Structure formats: structure tokens, C-alpha cells
Amino acid sequence: MMTPVSSIRNLGPAFEQSCARAGISSAEQLRDLGADRAYGMLLDSGTRPHFIGYYVLVMGLQGRPWNDCKGQEKADLRQRFDALKEHAKGKGLGAFEQVLDEIGVIDRRRQNS
């Protein structure tokens, strides 16, 4: 039997729906993927990047409360998040939209958090 994603600490039904859109169907699969790979899949499936959502996932997979992330650990996670976001930047855009993005026409507030 597969355990729902929402059974993981900090992760609720909305996150579970985002995971389903990304092809992640269980808590076991999410744990096997790990936070970075799973978050990359979420971004690839259209989830808007949001740092809090990322570190909530990391903390949840460690069985820790979401607000336990502080100091240097949080700064390190921010670097990992920024790298994931940069890797996903431009994915899902057509050729025309990629050119618009490169010249700064696409609204960054829609893409970044």
C-alpha cells in the first residue's frame, strides 16, 4: 500500500496535488527522490518556485517542523533552492517566450518568489 504524500510532516493536500501533477504519487516515492530531485520535478511540472515551499519539503522529509530551519542551514538551503530555480528557468517556455525572457520582457514576478 502506498502512503499519501500528505502523511509527511508539513505537507498537506495542496502539496500532494502538486506532487501528483509532477508524477509523484506517494510518500515513499517522494522520500526516494529526495527534496532536490522532487522539487525539480515540481518546477518542471509548472509549480511556481517558492523558497518556503522548498524548505518546508526539506524539513518534512527530515521529520522536522517547517520552522526549524534557521541560520546557516537556511542560507545553505537558499543556495540549493536558487540553483534548482535557475536550472528550471525557461523550461516550459516556447522559443518565442524564451527570447522574451532573455531580453527581460517576461514578468519575473510570475516566475520567481
CATH number at residue 107: 1.10.150.20
Cβ(38)–Cβ(57) under 8 Å? Answer: yes
> pLDDT tens digits for 91-109?
555 556 656 666 666 555 4
Q: pTM score, two decimals? A: 0.77
| Structural domain count of the chain | 1
| pLDDT interval class at 111 (50, 70, 90) | very low
Buried b (16+ CB within 10 A) or exposed e, 82-103: eebbeebbeeeeeeeeeeebee
pLDDT at 113: 43
- Quick one: 53 exposed, middle or buried, by C-beta within 10 A (0-12, 13-18, 19+)? buried
Q: Range of 54's domain? A: 5-111
Fill in the DSSP letter of residue 26.
S
Residues 82-92 have pLDDT tens digits of 999 888 775 55
